[in-house]
Structure 1
Amino acid sequence: MQCWLLLTFLMLSNFKTSAAEVPRLDYCYKETDCNPYLWVKSYPSCLPQKDKLHSPIDLNDEAVRNDTVPALMFRGLARSGTVKNVRDTVVVDFDECMTVSGGWLKYKYRLVQIRFHWGSKTTNGSEHTLNNRRFPMEMQLVGVAPGYKDVKSALNQQSGVAMIGVFIDIGPVNNVHFKAISDAVSKVPYPGDSVKVTLPTLLQLMPTSNEPGNRIKFFYYQGGLTTPPCSQTVDWIVLENPVLISSEQYLAFVTHLYYSDKSDSDQKLLEENYRPIQSSAMHKVLVSAQALEFHLARGASRSLQTFFIPLCVLLSLLHLSLTMV
Structure 2
Amino acid sequence: MLPLPVLFLLASSMKIVSGADWCYQSQVTCNHTCTGPDAWGVVSQHCSGRSQSPVNIVTRRILPDERLTPFHFVGYQETFHGRLTNIGHTVQLDLPSNITIKGGNLAASYKAVQLHLHWGKDGGPGSEHTIDGEKFSMEMHIVHIKEQYNSLSQAVRDRTGVAVLGFLFQESASANKKFDPLLNALKYIPQPTNSTTLRGVSLNMFIPHQSNMTKYFRYDGSLTTPNCDEAVVWSLFENAIPLSRKQLTAFSQIRFSNGEPMVRTYRPVQPLNGRQVYYSGGHVALVSTALLITSMLVSSALSLHTTA
Is TM > 0.5 for Structure 1 vs Structure 2? yes
> What is the match of residue 297 of structure 1?
none
Q: Secondary structure at 2:260's aligned position in 1? A: coil
Give the Cα separation in 2 of the matches to 1:187 and 1:288: 39
Give 2:278's match in structure 1, choosing from 254, 278, 286.
286
Deviation at residue 94 of structure 1 after TM alignment = 1.7
Question: Quick check: 1:91–1:113 contact (8 Å CA) kept in 2?
Answer: yes
Deviation at 1:122, TM superposition (A): 6.4
TM-score (norm 2): 0.78
Q: CA deviation at 1:198?
A: 2.1
Which deviates further from its counterpart, 77-86 or 140-149?
A: 77-86
Partner residue in 2 for 1:80: 81
Matched, 1:259 2:256: yes
Task: Give the equivalent residue in structure 1 for 2:197.
Answer: 196
Paired with 2:19 and 2:176, the residues of 1 have a C-alpha distance of 33
Q: Which amino acid aligns with 1:135?
A: F
Pairwise CA distance, 1:38: 1.4
**Structure 2 counterparts to residues 106-121 of structure 1, below 5 A:** 106-121=107-122
Greater helix percent: which structure?
2
**How is 1:308-323 mapped onto 2 (pairs within 5 angstroms)?**
none
Structure 2 residue identity aligned to 1:176: K
Contact 1:208–1:241 (Cα < 8 Å) also in 2 = no
Deviation at 1:43, TM superposition (A): 1.5
Q: Which residue of structure 2 lines up, in the alignment, with residue 135 of structure 1? A: 136
Matched with 1:57 is 55
Conserved? CA contact 1:108–1:145, under 8 Å:
yes
1:69 Cα deviation (Å)? 3.3
Q: CA deviation at 1:91?
A: 0.6
Question: Does structure 1 conserve the Cα–Cα contact (< 8 Å) formed by 2:67 and 2:105?
Answer: no
Which of 228, 237, 245 is the equivalent residue of 1:239? 237
1:175-204 per-residue CA deviation (whole Å, 9 max, x = no partner) reads 111111111112101111111112443223
Q: Distance in 2 between matches of 1:205 and 1:155?
A: 26
SS, match of residue 174 in structure 2? coil
User: Shift in Å at residue 277 of structure 1?
Assistant: 0.4
Task: State yes or no: 1:26 paired with 2:18.
Answer: no
Whether 1:168 aligns to 2:165 is: no
How far does residue 215 in structure 1 lie from its aligned partner after superposition? 5.5
Per-residue deviation at 1:71? 1.3
Larger Rg, first or second structure (1 or 2): 2
1:249 lines up with 2:247 in the alignment? yes
Residue in structure 2 matched with residue 154 of structure 1 by the alignment: 155
Residue 103 (structure 1) aligns with: 104
d(CA) in 1 for partners of 2:150, 2:262: 29
Q: Residues 126 and 214 from structure 1, CA distance in 2 versus in 1: closer, same or farther, beyond 3 angstroms?
A: closer
Question: What is the rounded CA distance, in whole Å, between the counterparts of 1:257 and 1:44 in structure 2?
Answer: 30
The answer for the alignment partner of 1:274 in structure 2 is 266
User: What secondary structure is seen at the aligned counterpart in 2 of 1:112?
Assistant: strand
Cα deviation, 1:262-281, whole Å, max 9, x if unaligned, reads: xxxx5222111111000012
Paired residue total: 257
Looking at structure 1, the residues matched to 19 and 272 of structure 2 have their Cα atoms a distance apart, in angstroms, of: 31
How far does residue 142 in structure 1 lie from its aligned partner after superposition? 0.3
Secondary structure of 2:169's aligned partner:
strand
* Residues 195, 42 of structure 1: alpha-carbon distance in 2 compared, 3 angstrom cutoff: same
Letter in 2 for 1:59: I
Counterpart code for 1:283:
R
> Which ranges of structure 1 fall in alignment gaps of 5 or more residues?
1-22, 261-265, 292-325
State the distance in 2 between where 1:116 and 1:144 align.
Answer: 18
Q: Give the alignment's Cα RMSD to 1 decimal.
A: 2.1
Residues 254-303 of structure 1, C-alpha deviation per residue, up to 9 Å, x if partnerless?
1x21111xxxxx52221111110000123221111379xxxxxxxxxxxx
* Alpha-carbon distance in structure 2 between the residues aligned to 1:127 and 1:141: 14
Structure 1 position 214, deviation (Å): 4.0
Q: Which runs of 5+ in 2 are unaligned?
A: 1-17, 285-308
Q: Determine if contact 2:213/2:239 at 8 Å carries over to the other structure.
A: no
